[in-house]
A and B are shown apart, each in its own frame.
Chain A
């Protein structure tokens, strides 16, 4: 089989992997911050609900969570939603990664010195100004290495979408390999993941450099 034909067949799978990756980050990064606030809430009900949520998300396989998100609406309510498959993947990935990001945010926020809040309060900053202008930028700098780790893991995790038959990169490669009786698609898939990782890692390195102007 010609490599260019193979690549064009794999291209759709690659695109889906990149979409899962991008959309998951777009939703889980802000959602994670919201979950972190819940986890640190003064209200014990909110705090405990988020605590359980985080522990379930981190304590059960993502693969299982994807299946629950996909099949859940049907088994629970008898809903069968058209075109839900891809959406289910994005929901499953986003709520899972939000839990991991939440704990990273929380660690970063809790590592901030109280003196920063106190200085801001004395200067008259409102609570939201303090968080957005003073706290969050410093938190982002501190959590970047941990976030980078999660993002790299996410690239590899995108292949889990196969459990609900979303044909991302790896599933596509597997199908072609089985049909054509060749291992080339796997090699191409490996190169794809590696290059994807490399681009992401380089980007994150660049971001880390951008925020290293202060200590």
Chain B
């Protein structure tokens, strides 16, 4: 089953064409890594898919339901009621966490469960504690974000996203704001999620991680998909010149 279908997605900022006709699917339980040079439109693609940006034309479907479709050349979004439901199908982990600084760790993880999904408080706390334990943060539930390392904050933000039980989780460079010695703990968490068949779309610059964790890799440049395929094929045996050139820069890391 396809969790996400993106068809002919286009997005401009003023006169700048940032996403030029992108299509891809994400199957249930699969992990897609998106790689590509800085400025190639990876974040914009995720922001369009998660509806933080509106698209200019194309189609977005979650679990077969249209979030946007293009009618007579114009992007038409589903009704607010439908969008609210569709929005609950996905989560997003930000590069710089965006935790709520005035909420404790446990409240960051549980508040949306309580005030958005209307779960009883004790049930939400139970879910939150379980996730914090999974993230290795069981002793941090009463801490505030500023008291945590970057890696711990990112793990809280992953727990916060998982708490709402999304069908698909997007990551936008989840380790880029971290010191190198802290990236490992985040990559480990994502690997564990992949092992549990969590459906994920991950924008990353960690090439060996992408090859290990992803089923498919999309290489983007200049707002288009240059190459897409099985993870090890794209990384170890790229077909396009641009992919080769891009990957060469990572060779000696």
Contact = CB atoms under 8 A, between A and B. Distances in A.
Interface of A: 113, 115-116, 118-119, 121-125, 129, 133-134, 137-138, 141, 213-215
Contacts of A138: 101-102
Interface stretch (B22-30, B70-78, B91-99): B91-99
A137 B164 contact: no
A125 B116 contact: yes
B98 A119 contact: yes
A115 B144 contact: no
Interface in B90-136: 90-92, 94, 96, 98-102, 111-112, 115-117
A121 B52 contact: yes
Contacts of B144: 213-215
Contacts of B164: 123-124
Nearest to B90: A122
B94 A123 contact: no
29 contacts: A113-B98, A115-B94, A116-B100, A118-B52, A118-B98, A119-B94, A119-B98, A119-B99, A121-B52, A122-B50, A122-B52, A122-B90, A123-B91, A123-B160, A123-B161, A124-B88, A124-B164, A125-B112, A125-B115, A125-B116, A129-B116, A133-B115, A134-B100, A138-B102, A213-B144, A214-B102, A214-B144, A214-B146, A215-B101
Contact of B94 (A118, A124, A125, A213): A118
A208 to B, nearest CB: 14
A116 B145 contact: no
A122 B84 contact: no
B165 to A, nearest CB: 12
A86 to B, nearest CB: 39
Interface string B38-58: 000000000000101000000
Contact of A123 (B102, B112, B146): B112
B102 A122 contact: no
B8 interface: no
B100 A215 contact: no
B87 interface: yes
A115 B98 contact: yes
Contacts of A215: 101, 144, 146
A135 to B, nearest CB: 10
A116 B115 CA distance: 16
Interface-centre pick from A116, A118, A122 (highest chain B CB count, 10 A): A122
A133 B102 CA distance: 10
Contacts of B160: 123
A129 B145 contact: no
Interface string B138-161: 000000111000000000000011
A108 to B, nearest CB: 14
6 tightest A-B contacts by CB? Answer: A119-B98, A115-B98, A123-B112, A124-B116, A215-B146, A214-B144
A138 B146 CA distance: 14
Contacts of B94: 115, 118-119
